[in-house]
């Protein structure tokens, strides 16, 4: 579901990049959102709030922003509504109506980089790009692809639940978007994305043998945040990969690209947007 948020303060929103993250603030239960802590140290003040009052925070990607009319779009995955397992964001979005109050946390002036919640920064000399992820990465992948310079060679592999989840983006020639659907055949999460990524890497690298790099340390996705966006050089100068979605699947994709396809670790950005069975901490 695409939600458009509007409000005069959004005229000052600091758009920072194609995969920019913000925090959506949601009241607990039927409670309205309390006055949110102001200032740069809002996080510590939020954590210090009583548990029964402290609002939920959920992370979302800015799909589009229009400062001239004070609007900002986010896409929300509606899941768990039928079986009662929906989290606070999906529950709120499913019942949201025009005029309902909403609160977000984001920058109040333009900029770029991690301070603005942006991770997409491929090296300038990367000759081909690979993006891959699940439905939670769709807003970021869509925004990135629609703003790629003309002539960029890129393949995006996206695995979603249903064919109805497919989005049609305005991309330039040279950008190939490949969708996989888990339903109606009840494929396991990631089972379609992994082979799609392997096929894409073979095409991007021209079928040439790749160097195998074995000194990869797999992150512990159960006890640590799966998130690494390397900076600095781009040793192989060929493909650059951006991976985002469920942490277990992204961990597997990262190992395949580094140890199997031979991409250097500094050529693979990977982000565990969420973890199967775990809600975002609040």
Using only the alpha carbons of the chain, give its radius of gyration: 19
17 or 145, which is more confident: 145
Q: Residue 212: what pLDDT? A: 41
Please give the CATH topology (third level) of the domain spanning 119-274.
Rossmann fold (3.40.50)
Task: Give Cβ neighbours of residue 43 (< 8 Å, ≥ 6 apart).
Answer: none
Specify which of 36-40, 126-130, 141-145, 232-236 reaches the highest per-range mean pLDDT.
141-145
Can you give the residue ranges of every domain in the chain?
A: 2-105, 119-274
| Number of residues assigned to the chain | 282
Residue 211 near residue 240, CB atoms below 8 Å: no
Which CATH class, in words, describes the domain spanning 2-105?
A: mainly beta
pTM above 0.85, yes or no: yes
> Tens digits of per-residue pLDDT, 165-178?
999 999 999 999 99
Say what the pLDDT of residue 219 is: 59
Helices (H) and strands (E) in the chain — how many of each? 5, 11
Exposure b/e, 209-224, CB count within 10 A at least 16 = b = ebeeeeeeeebebeee
């Amino acid at each position: 579901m695409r939600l458009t948020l509007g409000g005069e303060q959004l005229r000052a929103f600091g758009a920072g990049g194609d995969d920019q993250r913000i925090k959506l603030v949601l009241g607990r239960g039927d409670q309205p959102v309390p006055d949110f802590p102001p200032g740069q140290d809002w996080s510590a003040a939020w954590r210090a709030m009583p548990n029964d009052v402290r609002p939920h925070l959920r992370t979302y990607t800015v799909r589009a922003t229009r400062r001239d009319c004070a609007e900002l779009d986010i896409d929300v995955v509606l899941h768990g509504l039928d079986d009662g397992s929906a989290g606070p964001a999906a529950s709120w979005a499913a019942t949201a109506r025009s005029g309902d109050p909403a609160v977000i946390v984001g920058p109040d002036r333009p900029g770029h980089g991690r301070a603005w919640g942006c991770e997409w920064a491929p090296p300038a000399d990367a000759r081909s790009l690979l993006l891959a992820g699940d439905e939670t990465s769709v807003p970021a992948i869509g925004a990135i692809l629609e703003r790629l310079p003309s002539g960029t060679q890129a393949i995006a592999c996206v695995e979603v639940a249903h064919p109805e989840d497919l989005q049609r983006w305005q991309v330039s020639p040279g950008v190939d978007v490949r969708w996989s659907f888990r339903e109606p055949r009840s494929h396991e999460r990631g089972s379609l994305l992994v082979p799609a990524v392997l096929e894409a890497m073979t095409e991007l690298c021209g079928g040439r043998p790749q160097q195998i790099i074995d000194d990869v340390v797999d992150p512990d996705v159960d006890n640590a945040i799966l998130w690494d966006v390397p900076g600095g050089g781009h040793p192989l100068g060929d493909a650059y990969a951006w991976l985002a979605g469920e942490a277990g699947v992204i961990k597997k994709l990262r190992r395949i690209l580094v140890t199997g396809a031979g991409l250097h670790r500094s050529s693979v950005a990977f982000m565990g947007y969420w973890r199967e069975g775990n809600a975002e901490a609040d």
